[in-house]
Structure 1
Amino acid sequence: MTDTLNVPGGDVPGGDVPGGDVPAVDVPAVNVHGVSRIFAAGKGPGVTALDDVSLDVAPGEFVSLIGPSGCGKSTLLRLIADLDVPTSGSIEVFGKPARQARIDQDYGIAFQQAGLLPWRTVAGNIELPLELHGVGKAARRGRAAELIALVGLSDFAAHYPDQLSGGMQQRVAIARALAESPSLLLMDEPFGALDEMTRERMQNELVRICAETQAAVVFVTHSIPEAVFLSNRVVVLEPRPGRIRSIVGVGLGDMSGRGEDLREDEGFFRSLSEVRDLLHGDPDSSGTGLPTGVVPKTGARGVETR
């Protein structure tokens, strides 16, 4: 991937970010149609990571992908980002083929690995996408300082990546991905390496950014509470070959109304239970994700339920 983590059309305090036209509201931020991905094997038919997956993500919508390890969550995200190509089917981002959207830098990306530039400081890494878009020095420094404080690294702004722990490096990468309040953000378990307090703080900040910018987000996670707290919809995937088992609409209101107290809301627990039940369900059952008469189990291998 490139060093830049940016999308056109975002607003940055103190400076404008150049970019393409804002997509029309009736054009999905992401359209996945009939996508399959088969990885070739030395012998045999190969491994089917995804099988006939179709999904639309609306502008401003937050969609989480959740399922057992190996179900194709990260593969789907990589296909949307044009870091891999589907075996069959098509993907569009804001009405463009995924490859063109990547060339046009139409989205920001945050991965599990930080991918920081070793010759740049913490502040320098966070400022990078703003610098490449011509944002003034004062505005870059101000925005970087805000994000450094957010992720709890104010004492490390002048440090280099090799002077940071792995968790600290990931916090810098998350801050960099958030620098331009992107119109589409693709996130692959970006909070997984963070401690619980920082993780919840980053979830709250992401909710705020989405409310302010109407950014669309496709978010991969193993945490059921994280998926429910953040999302408008949670896409539950079956074990390999990855198919969509069900899509849960999370009726917790828009992003602007989501705060700490939401984690104690009855609707939050109801949606959490629904997603958990689907993750334990029989893929042959219809609608509920559970075979008739079977009581849900209390834990899921490979899925975080805290």
Structure 2
Amino acid sequence: MALSYLHLFKDKSMSLWLDLLGAEIRYVDTKNFGTIRIAEAGKGNPETLILQHGINGHLEAYAKNIVPLSKDFHVIAFDYVGQGLSSKPVREYNPIMLAEQLGELMDALGIEKAHLSGESLGGWVSGHFAATNPHRVLRLMLNTAGGIPIVTEKGKQDLETFIGLNRRNIDNTPTYESVQARMHWLMHPSNRHLVDGELVDLRLRIYLRPESRAVLPKLNEILAHHDEYLIPLEKLPEGTLFLWTHDNPIHDTESVKAAQAKVPGSILYFMKGNAAHWPQYEAIDEFNDVALKFFRTGTVG
């Protein structure tokens, strides 16, 4: 037993708690969105970087990045309202409403301006926030973001597949297997070992909470109305970074190239390491290096 326990600490992929050592986990009250769970590190650094997770997710999606990025930035990751361990009012959800929540969280924390990085839904929300609140955004990274036009038939089929995987955890009582299948979809085939027992059990326990069960159908509707809430790409700031992978589902390489072409002065970077939808979790060192350089300098080269 002792040898097995020691092995957990030698394998850096084995514990989210080890990844988050040095970060503070706490709850913040907002004006209209209830209590929001955040992870915070690097207090005292002059510039803030806010990291935002994907749909039906939680802040641990950035467990591998919060502390490493805090050497240069005041880093905050949080659970969107209705997700993770934040408040879960049963109401209509969409990316514009979640962008309003982001603004209220920044207000509650006394943050006037911040760098934004969001994956999937997090990028979708970040794009809407940046388009409507340009004065509050320093630099913007859209990390395998949702909310851009899907231009290929494969991408459209991927969206239907993902909606179906989500429904397995909504229409039925979630199980270890159904949650694992949904999370495997996020990963490059060579990285599915990263979907370990701790990560699956964490998400399963969140999904099984009665308040989560009540709100999950509302969250899945965000995907069903994807094209009604596209990011206004023409309003994104010059210098926006599209950080992508060649194996990202739904919003594939052709879709991101078409979207990036609509944002003057923007940057498109494809991850070199194996990654699909969670590059920040799958190719950790590369992601952190690119993020640090981009948010310091506005470049990735």
State TM-score, norm by structure 1.
Answer: 0.28
| Structure with the higher strand share, 1 or 2 | 1
Q: Relative contact order (C-alpha < 8 Å, sep 6+): which is higher?
A: 1
Q: Mark the structure with the bigger radius of gyration.
A: 1
State TM-score, norm by structure 2.
Answer: 0.28
